[in-house]
Structure 1
Amino acid sequence: MKWKSHGISLCLLASTVLISCSKHKDEQAPVVIIHGPGNLSSYQLPASIPVDVEIRDDQSIEEFSISIYNSQGETAFREIWQPGQKEIRETFSCAVNGLYLSSGTYTLKVSASDGVNSSSAYGQLQLIEIPKALEAIHVLCYGQSNPEIFRLDNGTFIFEKSIPHAIKSAYISNASHQIAVHPVSGFPVQAFHTSTFGDAFQLLYQNIGATEYFQSMNYSGEETALWVAFGNQQMRAYNGEGNIENTISQPANRVTKKMIAGGRTLLCDEENTSNGNHYLSAYNLNTGLTFFSTSISGEVMDGRLCTNGKFILFINENTTSAVYEFDPDQSILSLKHNLASGRVLELTAIDFDLSCLAHENGILLYSYQNNISGFFNNSIQIQHIAFDPVNEEIHTGNNKSYSVIDYTNGAILQQYTCSDTIRKILLEFNK
C-alpha cells in the first residue's frame, strides 16, 4: 500500500490516548491504538523497531503522524502519512540510527486527524546508546599519480588503496563500513570494505543502463543506501552488496549536482542542462515522486536534517554563502541566515544543533537553534573538515597539511604533512 508520505523515519509505541474534538460535536475523533511493542520496551541503538498500529475513523483518516522526542522536546524522529481511508492496521519497521542520541527514556507520540477532529496516543521507550569508538582515520589524497587512500595512525600515513582513475570525491558508510568513490566521466563507481579494502561492488555503465557519466552520489541519512545520480535523469539507491533498492526518475534536461537524503525525503540540487539554471527539488522516497521544486540562485554545497524534521542547506551564491531551511511537511524553502563573506567548502555535524563548516576564511560554526554563526578559528586555512565526537576533535586538511584541533578550546593538538594533496577526510566509527 502506498500513501503520500514525507518527513523523517521514526518509530512508535503505545499507551495513553488524548482526544481533541472541534465544535462539530456530532463527529468522532479517530481511534488510535498501538498494539506493540510494549510500553518502556528497551532497544540498543541503532535499532529497527517493528510497531503494530491500528487507526480507525467513521469518516476518513486524512493524516497521521508518528514522532519520538527526548525530555528537552528535541524531535529525534518524525513522519507523516496521508492515507485517505477509514482504517489502518499495519506493522511499521522503524529505523532508529542513534545519531546524537543518548541513553534515556523517550516519549513517543502517534497522532491522527480526520480533518476536523484529532487524537493522540503516547508511550515511552528506553533507548540505550552503545558508546562510539573511532575505528580509523582514512584520508583521500591526490598527487601526480592516481588517487590514493591512506590511514592516519599515530601521525603516520599508511597506504590502504590506490584508485586506478581520477575521482571527484569519496564517501564513507559507518553502517556498512564501506568507502565509495565518485569517479570522473568514463569510470565506474567503486565501493571498498574498510577492513580489507577489497571490492564490495562496482557500478558499471553496461549493467546500470546509463548512457552518461555519474553526476552525483551520497549515502542516505542512515548510511544504509548509496544514492547515485546518473546523466540520464535517473537516481538509484544501492545496498551494501550493490543491489538496487530504489529508483527515481527526474524531469527531462535535469541532472543532480548534489543530493541530501533524510527520512523519507531526497533533496536534490538539479542543474538544467540546456541553460545551466539550478533547481532545488524534493522527492518522496516512498512514491518516487517530486513534491517540491523551485529555482535557486546558487549551488547547494551541503546540508543536513535537523531534529524538528526540517533540512538546513548551505548554498553558495557567487562569493557569499547563506543558510536556507526546507520544511518537507509544508514544502517551504526560506532564507534563514547569511554567513560571513566567503564561500563554504565542506560541512561536518557537531551535534543536533551545531554545524561546523570549512570556510574560505577559517572554521565557521553555525547554530540552527539560535540562528547565529561565528568563526571558531580564523587563523587556519582549511579546505576539508571532519568532526570526531568521541575525542571532541576537529580534523582539517589544507593542501598537504593535516591538523587536529581541540573542539573545547580551539588549540591545535597535532599537525602532520602528507606526501600528496588532501582531498577528503573520512572518519570511521564503530559501536
Structure 2
Amino acid sequence: MENANMTPREIVAYLDEYIIGQNEAKRVVAIALRNRYRRLQLPKDIQEEVMPKNILMIGSTGVGKTEIARRMAKIMGLPFVKVEASKYTEVGFVGRDVESMVRDLVFASIALVKEEQKEKNAEKIEDYVLNKIVEKLIPPLPKGASEQKVEEYKVASERMKNRVINGEMDNLKIEINTPKRQVEVEDGNVPVEIIKVQETIAKVFSASKENPKKEVTIKEAKDLLKIEASESLLDMESIKQEGIKRAENSGIIFIDEIDKVAVSSNSQGRQDPSKEGVQRDLLPIVEGSLVNTKYGSVKTDHILFIAAGAFSLSKPSDLIAELQGRFPLRVELDSLDEEALYKILTQTKNSILRQYEALLGVENVKLIFKDEAIRALAHYSQMANEKTDDIGARRLHTVVERVIEDISFEAEKYSGESVEITESLVKEKLDVLVEDSDVTRYIL
C-alpha cells in the first residue's frame, strides 16, 4: 500500500492520465479517499465515529464512472469490487444475496494481501523452488559424506542452480509431487455454514491421499513449485486477518446500475416489488452491519460505497429516502462531446489507439493514425452516440475496430510495412453505416 497516503491533488493528477474531464467527480472521489487515510491516523475512539461519505455518481454509460473508481483503487492498493445492482433481488425472488458483495470484497482483499506477501517473499520462494529442482537433478549426499564431497556437492549445486535460472534445463523432465491447489469458494448464494461443511469434507478426502506425483518439464515445475512454496512459506492465517482488516477499513464497493432498482414515480402501481426489496436489503449493509463470511464476521461500517447510474428513466429521488441519505455526496458526470472523444483517443495513457498499435506490432505491422483520421473517428463516434444509444467512450472501441478490421484480419499481408489510417479510409468504412440509422443501431 505504498500509495495509500496520496494527496487529493496527486490522486486527481493520476486519474487525469487515464480519464478526460470529469473534474468534479475526480475531486469528490479524491477527497473521500484522503479522508479514509486521515481517519486511520486518528485515535481509536474517534476513528469509530468518523463514517465514510458514500458517493452517488450520476451520468450516462461510458463517461468514466467505473474507470474513476477502479483506477483510484488500483493506484492506492485498495480492495475493490464492482457489482451490478440489477443482479440482486429481494430475498425470496430469484437472484443473488446482497450480502455477497461484502464476501466478494473480503475475497478480493485477501487475494491482494496474498500477492503483496508473495512479492515480499519473492526471493525465499525462488530459493525454495530452485532447491527443490536441484535436489531432483543432483540427489543430496548421504549422511557422513567427507568434507571434500560436501564441497564438491556445493559447487555442483551452484552450477546447476545457474543453469536452471538461465533456462538451460527448461525442457528436461523431472518427477515432482503436484501441490494441492486451494479451491476458494465464495458464492453469495451459498450460506457460509454450507461452504464450511464442503471445505471440511474436501479436507478429509484430500488428507487420505498424498499429493500425486507427476512428470513435468522443469519449466512447468517452476510454476507448480511456486504454489507449493507459497503454501509453505506464507502465513495464511495472518494474511486472512489482514485481508479482513483492509476490507473493513479500506474496502470500496462500486454498485453500478443503481438506477435499475429505483422505482420511478411515473411507473403505474409500482409493478416490481423486487426493486424496492433490493434497496431495503442494501440499506443495512450501507448503514453498517455484520456480515458473515467463511473467514469470519466483517463490519461494513467503514467500507466506502460508490453507487452509479444513468438515471435516464428515473431520478435519484426515486430511491427510498433512507438509502438516499446514505449517499450524501452526489456528483453529475458530463456527457462526452466530440472534443472529449478526440482527447480520449490522443491524450490518455494506453489509449485504444496505442493498444491497437501494440497489438498489430506483434505481427510486425506499424499502424500510423493521421490526426485528421483521429478527428474523424471522434466525429463518427459522436454521431453514432446521437443517433442511437449514447454509450460514451465505449463507442470508440466499436468504431476503431470497424475501421481497422480488414488490416487486422489480413495482418500477415502487411507484415514489415507501415499502414496509415487516413481520414478517407475512416470515411469509406463509416460513412454509410452512420448515415443509415437502422444499420447504425445494429453495427455501431
TM-score range, shorter chain: under 0.3
Structure (1 or 2) with the larger CA radius of gyration: 2
Greater share of residues in strand: 1
Greater share of residues in helix: 2
Q: Structure 2 length as normaliser, TM-score?
A: 0.22
Bigger RCO (CA 8 Å, 6+ sep): 2
Q: Structure 1 length as normaliser, TM-score?
A: 0.23
